[in-house]
Structure 1
Amino acid sequence: MKSLQLEVVKNDRLYMKVAEQLRKLIETDVIKPGERFPSERELADQLGVSRPTVREAMIALEMTGVIEIRSGSGIYARKVKSMSTLLKDDSGIGPFEILEIRQIIEAEACALAAERISEEELVQLKQTLREMKEEEKREDSSEKADQRFHEIIAQSSQNSAIESVVSWLWKLRNESMLSTAFLARIRKEGIHPSISEHQAIYDALAARDAEAARQAMKRHLESATENAAKHFNK
């Protein structure tokens, strides 16, 4: 694999800086149209950023037509285009970074909730599970029930800081153009919130088992990350 002249990236909105640097490699013919990009791991190492940041840069490039993801083959350069003005103006956080922080926060929130959740909140969770099942039958499913499920658990932790952070993370996701566009795309590819994983979380909470609840939430968010990443290996 060729050695690319890449700069270590240091900026708050890393994915856009990475995307612009990769776009310039095509513009300057370092990577020519039709040529395959190095692997996600190689790019992360050379740029000095995390793999989630590289994924988010690739999402931005795909959305603006700078790269093409070929099934079972890899990610290829296309004829260079300027980055979309809308994307440049998007101050939101990307989907993989949001999933990463959710794993840290929500697994522990779920463990606390197992010890503190009320019977009324369990009833609300069960109803939300039913709503999720109904939503999944519709092509335009909004995932509102999914959001409500996670917010009820945060509320059940009886920690107002956790509740505020979880609500804020959903707000970040819903207001980020990169996140919403990518999530809409992978939904069309058949990737949806897992009902069985949410059921496992509910069962652990209903049993008041903190460790089982922690692990069920951790598995769920790890699975969500892995499923979203399949977009790049479809």
Structure 2
Amino acid sequence: MHLRAKKLTELLIDEIKVLIEADSLQPGDKIPTEQELMRIFKVSRTCVREALSVLRQEGIVDIIQGKGTFLKKHYTPLPNIDDPTSSGLAHFMESRKIIESSLARLAAKRASKTDLEALEDSLRTLEADGIDAFPEKVIQADLDFHYLLARSTGNPVLLHLLQEVDSHLQAGRSTTITFPQGRKKALEGHRRVLEALRKKDPDEAALQMTRHIEEIEKAQRFIAVLQTSPDKKRTE
């Protein structure tokens, strides 16, 4: 029993490190709370506390009573995310980046005032206070932005292609958007794209969409490393 608990704690330590990289946290940033870590990794509070204690001993985090746990320094080695765990997943990610950057370029030329207002409304929903308590609403608000942008091009075939590719990425996408920094990153990416659309700048819109998708891709690759761990089965 002791050996089993130790193994689970060591696995959780690795997964917390993956989460830190997926969220691109920097020294001084606050890491997820005990409650959030319990929810994300489906482990007990005791296991979370043991893992955080080890990370503190390693000098990776600072635990400040009453304030939370903060990243103190990065660590090495990092997971090898240059080799996707699934070539099929990599192909869909690549396809999504190509399609969405092209959609953003077209939208910068064709989006109407009504389209832009609808995109802004989706951002307001995504940044609303308290929405983190409803993961399904966060996911839907994220999808709404991308699909509204696609519709603003006036080309239903491109929208269909996006939805087809996207259907193969929903599991990873749902995970990244509901990670502690996921919503914040989505908002930042969406706002950059929307600003380019407002300026009617096709090149900038395509560039910002590509940047946004690459940020998501990086997070999904780290999460894929986490999810394909040879011993990901947990017990309380």
Query: TM-score normalised by the shorter chain: which range applies?
Result: 0.5 to 0.7
Amino acid at match of 2:211: R
Give secondary structure in 1 for the equivalent of 2:169. Answer: helix
Give secondary structure in 1 for the equivalent of 2:132. Answer: coil
CA displacement, residues 175-210 of structure 1 (integer Å, 9 cap, x when unaligned): xxxx35x84378346434521111010000011111
Give the match for residue 182 of structure 2.
191
Deviation at residue 104 of structure 1 after TM alignment: 0.7
1:107–1:217: 8 Å Cα contact kept in structure 2?
Answer: yes
Give the match for residue 35 of structure 2.
none
Give the match for residue 53 of structure 1.
none
Aligned counterpart for 1:158 among listed residues 139, 154, 157: 154
Give the match for residue 116 of structure 2.
122
Q: Structure 2 stretches of 5 or more lacking a match?
A: 1-40, 42-74, 80-86, 227-236
Give the match for residue 233 of structure 2.
none
Give secondary structure in 1 for the equivalent of 2:157. Answer: helix
Counterparts in 2 of 1:135 and 1:111: CA distance versus 1, 3 Å: farther
2:142–2:186: 8 Å Cα contact kept in structure 1?
Answer: no
CA displacement, residues 78-133 of structure 1 (integer Å, 9 cap, x when unaligned): xxxxxxxxxxxxxxx96544322110111011101100001111010000010111
Give the match for residue 211 of structure 1.
203
Deviation at residue 169 of structure 1 after TM alignment: 2.4
Give the match for residue 144 of structure 1.
140
* Structure 1 CA distance for aligned equivalents of residues 78 and 200 of structure 2: 45
* Structure 1 CA distance for aligned equivalents of residues 106 and 177 of structure 2: 32
- Structure 1 range deviating more: 198-207 or 133-142: 133-142
Amino acid at match of 1:152: L
Counterparts in 2 of 1:173 and 1:228: CA distance versus 1, 3 Å: closer
Amino acid at match of 2:110: R
* Structure with larger RCO (C-alpha < 8 A, sep 6+): 2
Give secondary structure in 1 for the equivalent of 2:123. Answer: helix
Residue 226 (structure 1) aligned with residue 218 (structure 2): yes
* Structure 1 CA distance for aligned equivalents of residues 101 and 111 of structure 2: 15
Aligned counterpart for 2:100 among listed residues 106, 110, 125: 106
Counterparts in 2 of 1:127 and 1:186: CA distance versus 1, 3 Å: closer
Give the match for residue 168 of structure 2.
172
1:147–1:170: 8 Å Cα contact kept in structure 2?
Answer: no
* Structure 2 CA distance for aligned equivalents of residues 144 and 207 of structure 1: 26
Give secondary structure in 1 for the equivalent of 2:142. Answer: helix
* Structure 1 CA distance for aligned equivalents of residues 129 and 98 of structure 2: 27
Deviation at residue 229 of structure 1 after TM alignment: 2.5
Counterparts in 2 of 1:118 and 1:187: CA distance versus 1, 3 Å: same
Give secondary structure in 1 for the equivalent of 2:147. Answer: helix
Identity of aligned residues (%): 23
Counterparts in 2 of 1:230 and 1:72: CA distance versus 1, 3 Å: farther
1:191–1:228: 8 Å Cα contact kept in structure 2?
Answer: no
